[in-house]
Structures are given as structure tokens and as C-alpha cells.
């Protein structure tokens, strides 16, 4: 009888543990999807703006499509990488401050980030003003470079829209207030489709009509987010405009620079791929095919970026509140979810092949080139989602770890990893395969995928060996140091009151 009682007791304990794990999984999934769900939809809608524009421009002409692809895939991605990278400092600061219940600091951090990003945007303007000579100097086709120059000047307002877009989204995500972003994004993409059709198809304004619609589509949600934040949607975290935003900017600049270096090195990787393709034979077809593949890959990446936002918010919040175990558990849950989605999409795009190209072009030659690149596209989708199980442990892909690194404040370390894996390994191998071995676009892409794989393996090792309790202590010290000046300045005001 005693043996049976012991067995029943052990069975009961195991069942209890299973129930607790199920409850924990359910709670963590709810917290994850509160951030990830709206973030994925928002990023789909935002990236959809580019896809809609590209689809309309692609049916105007192949030169226009190649020029548009160069500006958006190379130049605008360059600016996007700089501004998104520097804005990710806000993600770290807001996430940890919110986890530490220092709500009043989120509004100050938001305003400081606006200042830093606005100054950065001014330095980026010459790239878009002198697009034509810049692209010609990089060896691009003259006809494509001339059309790209017109597009570059038109797209300047879009660069400034990133300042508001990136910072407001990160500010709201840190508080899990994502639904307003989703509503605005849905409204924006609907307006964009309608305007693009009216201006390019019905009234025949050509590429200028598509660009005008693009600019409006980027700014509409920004205006809505600003109104939501400043007009009562974030009462705890937005206390109005403050002169404190101009004080203690150096810690924000420092973190922004390290964040910018980390993410820029990641985002510019594909930019170099397009530039290398532009110097090959039959550049027009090569660029068109590669741009279509990269945009499909980018669309899938919006799912990953949605989960990345959830990873950053969850890790930052848990580190800020002092829970290292919950931070680690959050990562595992997010990785498993991403792996399942990535696997389904891998199979889907592998089977779809070149048929997808006809959405963006009517050229059979471009469609054949896309079909030829489809296996690499499918593998990129899988690699950029989540790596499978390695050595019996859950592993995180490189792109995942970038955002986890943002949450934990490891930007400088990841920047060094990116330099080594991407620019010392991936690109040189791609150049050798593409030019020396005459594999052209395929060879360049294979080399760059190998660099991504190396980055993934290195960051897996770094993450798995991380002392999360130490990260909790570092997070608390970081938040305390940034808040001490604010506390000293606010104390006399309370005494006077």
C-alpha cells in the first residue's frame, strides 16, 4: 500500500507540474501575442506600402521598377537601418524603465530620441539629394540611375517619417499598447491601395503618383500615433513636452550609436547584395528578380520582427522587474512559436517558386530569374525565422538574438559579431562565388547566407552562456543611473509645491 501511495503521490506531483507549466505557457503566450500580434500586423501593413508601390511601379516599366528597387532596397534601407538602429536604444530604455515602474521617464526618453534621430536625418539628406551621381559612382546603369535620382528626391519626406514611426511604436510597445498602431496601419494601407490605383492607373501620373501615395501612407499613421500619445492615450507615461529632454542626451546618444551600429550592419547586408548584383551582366533583370525575392523575404521577416518586438519587450520588462528565469522562459516560448511559423512558410515559398513574380512584373524573363532564386529564398526564410534544435537545446537565430540583445543591452558585442560574420566572411565568400566562380546572383546570395549562419552560431553560444541573473543586476544599475539626475531635478519642484 505504501508503494502505491508513493506512486500516486509522485504521479499527482507530475500532473501538478504539467498543469503549472501549461498555465505558465498560456500566460506567457498571452503576454507575447499582446505585443507580437499587433506588431506583426503593423509591420505587414507598413511593409505592404512598399509592396503595393512596387507592384504599381513594376507595371509602368522595367527601368522604373529597377530604379525604384535601388532607391528603396539600397538607399532607403540604408537610412532605415541608421534610424531604426538608433531608435532601438529607446526600446531598451523604455522597456527597462517600464519594467522598473519608472513610468514618467518613458516620455522623456521618447523626446530625447526624437532629437537624436532628427539630427541624424539631416546628415542622411545628401544621399537622396545626390542619388543619381552616387549610383553612377557605384557602377549602376545610367538610365536606372537617372530615374532613381527623381525617386530619391521625392522620397525625402519618407525619411523624416521614420523618426516618428520608429520611436512612437517602440514607446507604445513597451507598454503593450499596440492596437492603436494596428488600426492606423490598416487604415493607411487601405488608403494607399486606393490612391495608388487612382494616381497611377486611372489618372496616369506614373511613378510620381505612386510616390505621392507612398509618402501619405507613411505619414498618416504617424499623425495618429502622435495624437494618441499626446492627447490622453498614455497618461502614465506622457507628461507633456519637457526641457529635460535636452538634458543628459549623451547616455541616449551613446546607446543609440551602439544600437545603430548593431542593426545597421544587419540591415545593410542585403543592401550590399543588391549593389553587387547591379554590376553584373543584364543588371536590369537581375535587380528586378532579386528585388522581388528580397521583398518576399522581407514580407516574411515582418512576422519575425513582430516576434522580435515581443522578445525585446518581454526580456526588457522581465530584466527591469528583476526576473531572470521569466526572461529566459519568454525567449524559449517565442522561439518555438517562430520556428513553427517559419517551417510552414519555408515549404510554402519553396513550392510557390516563380509564380509569385507576376504580381510585380509582366516580364517572363524576370519571372524565370525569380524561379531560379526560389530555393535560396526559401532557405533564407527558414534561416531568418528560427533555427531548429541544435545539440538538444533550443537555439535562437541571429536575427532573433539581435532583438534579444537590444532587450538586454548587448548592442556593442553584437556589432562586433556582425562585422566578423557578415563583412569578413559572408561578403568575401559571396564575391568569390558570384564573380570568380561565375555563379552570379546565386553565388553572392549563398555567400551572404553563410555569413548569416556563422553569425547565428556565434550568437547562440553567447546567449546560451549568458548569466541572466547578472543581466538583471546590470539592467537595474542601468535604469538607476539614468534616473538619478531626473530624481534630483524633480525633488525641488515637489518641495516648492
Neighbouring CB atoms inside 10 A of 393's CB total: 9
pTM, whole model, 2 decimals? 0.67
Per-residue pLDDT at 494: 44
Give how far Cα 191 sits from Cα of 46, 196, 218, Å.
12, 8, 11
Per-residue pLDDT at 390: 32
Per-residue pLDDT at 66: 81
Neighbouring CB atoms inside 10 A of 254's CB total: 12
Q: pLDDT tens string for the chain (497 positions)?
A: 455 665 555 555 555 555 577 777 888 888 778 777 877 887 777 778 888 888 888 778 778 888 887 888 778 877 887 887 788 778 777 877 787 778 888 888 899 889 989 998 999 999 999 999 988 887 777 888 899 999 999 999 999 999 999 899 889 888 878 788 888 888 999 999 999 999 988 888 888 898 999 999 999 999 999 999 999 888 888 988 888 888 777 777 776 776 666 566 666 666 677 667 766 666 667 777 777 777 777 777 777 777 777 776 776 677 666 666 777 777 778 777 877 887 888 888 777 776 777 777 777 787 888 888 888 888 887 777 754 333 223 233 333 344 444 455 555 566 677 778 888 888 899 889 888 888 887 888 888 888 878 877 777 777 677 665 665 566 556 555 555 555 555 454 444 44
Nearest 5°: phi and psi at 393?
Answer: -125, 150
92-124 as b/e: b if 16+ CB within 10 A: bbbbbbbbbebbebbbbbbbbbbebbeebbeeb
Amino acid at each position: 500500500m505504501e508503494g502505491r501511495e508513493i506512486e500516486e503521490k509522485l504521479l499527482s506531483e507530475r500532473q501538478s507540474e504539467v498543469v503549472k507549466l501549461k498555465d505558465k505557457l498560456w500566460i506567457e503566450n498571452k503576454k507575447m501575442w499582446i505585443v507580437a500580434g499587433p506588431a506583426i500586423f503593423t509591420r505587414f501593413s507598413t511593409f505592404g506600402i512598399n509592396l503595393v508601390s512596387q507592384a504599381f511601379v513594376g507595371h509602368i516599366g522595367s527601368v522604373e521598377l529597377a530604379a525604384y528597387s535601388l532607391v528603396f532596397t539600397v538607399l532607403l534601407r540604408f537610412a532605415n537601418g541608421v534610424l531604426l538602429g538608433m531608435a532601438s536604444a529607446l526600446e531598451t530604455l523604455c522597456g527597462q524603465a517600464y519594467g522598473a515602474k519608472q513610468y514618467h521617464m518613458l516620455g522623456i526618453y521618447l523626446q530625447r530620441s526624437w532629437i537624436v534621430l532628427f539630427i541624424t536625418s539631416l546628415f542622411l539628406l545628401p544621399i537622396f539629394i545626390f542619388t543619381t551621381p552616387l549610383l553612377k559612382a557605384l557602377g549602376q546603369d545610367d538610365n536606372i540611375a537617372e530615374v532613381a535620382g527623381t525617386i530619391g528626391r521625392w522620397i525625402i519626406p519618407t525619411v523624416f517619417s521614420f523618426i516618428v514611426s520608429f520611436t512612437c511604436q517602440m514607446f507604445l510597445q513597451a507598454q503593450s499598447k499596440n492596437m492603436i498602431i494596428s488600426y492606423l496601419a490598416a487604415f493607411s494601407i487601405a488608403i494607399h491601395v486606393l490612391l495608388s490605383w487612382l494616381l497611377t492607373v486611372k489618372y496616369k501620373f506614373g511613378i510620381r503618383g505612386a510616390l505621392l501615395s507612398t509618402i501619405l501612407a507613411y505619414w498618416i499613421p504617424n499623425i495618429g500615433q502622435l495624437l494618441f500619445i499626446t492627447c490622453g492615450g498614455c497618461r502614465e507615461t506622457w507628461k507633456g513636452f519637457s526641457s529635460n529632454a535636452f538634458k543628459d542626451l549623451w547616455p541616449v546618444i551613446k546607446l543609440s550609436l551602439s544600437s545603430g551600429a548593431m542593426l545597421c550592419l544587419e540591415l545593410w547586408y542585403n543592401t550590399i547584395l543588391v549593389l553587387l548584383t547591379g554590376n553584373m551582366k543584364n543588371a536590369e533583370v537581375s535587380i528586378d528578380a532579386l528585388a522581388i525575392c528580397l521583398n518576399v523575404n522581407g514580407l516574411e521577416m515582418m512576422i519575425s520582427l513582430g516576434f522580435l518586438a515581443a522578445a525585446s519587450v518581454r526580456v526588457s520588462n522581465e530584466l527591469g522587474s528583476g526576473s531572470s528565469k521569466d526572461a529566459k522562459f519568454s525567449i524559449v516560448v517565442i522561439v518555438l512559436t517562430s520556428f513553427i511559423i517559419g517551417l510552414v512558410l519555408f515549404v510554402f515559398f519553396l513550392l510557390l517558386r516563380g509564380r509569385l513574380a507576376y504580381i510585380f512584373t509582366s516580364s517572363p524573363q524576370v519571372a524565370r530569374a525569380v524561379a531560379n532564386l526560389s530555393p535560396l529564398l526559401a532557405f533564407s526564410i527558414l534561416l531568418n525565422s528560427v533555427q531548429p534544435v541544435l545539440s538538444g537545446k533550443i537555439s535562437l537565430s541571429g536575427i532573433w538574438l539581435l532583438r534579444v540583445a537590444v532587450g538586454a543591452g548587448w548592442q556593442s558585442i553584437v556589432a562586433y559579431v556582425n562585422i566578423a560574420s557578415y563583412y569578413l566572411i559572408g561578403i568575401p565568400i559571396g564575391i568569390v562565388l558570384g564573380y570568380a566562380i561565375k555563379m552570379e546572383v546565386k553565388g553572392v546570395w549563398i555567400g551572404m547566407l553563410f555569413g548569416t549562419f556563422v553569425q547565428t552560431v556565434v550568437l547562440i553560444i553567447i546567449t546560451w552562456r549568458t548569466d541572466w541573473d547578472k543581466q538583471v543586476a546590470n539592467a537595474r544599475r542601468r535604469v538607476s543611473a539614468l534616473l538619478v539626475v531626473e530624481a534630483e531635478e524633480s525633488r525641488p519642484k515637489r518641495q516648492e509645491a
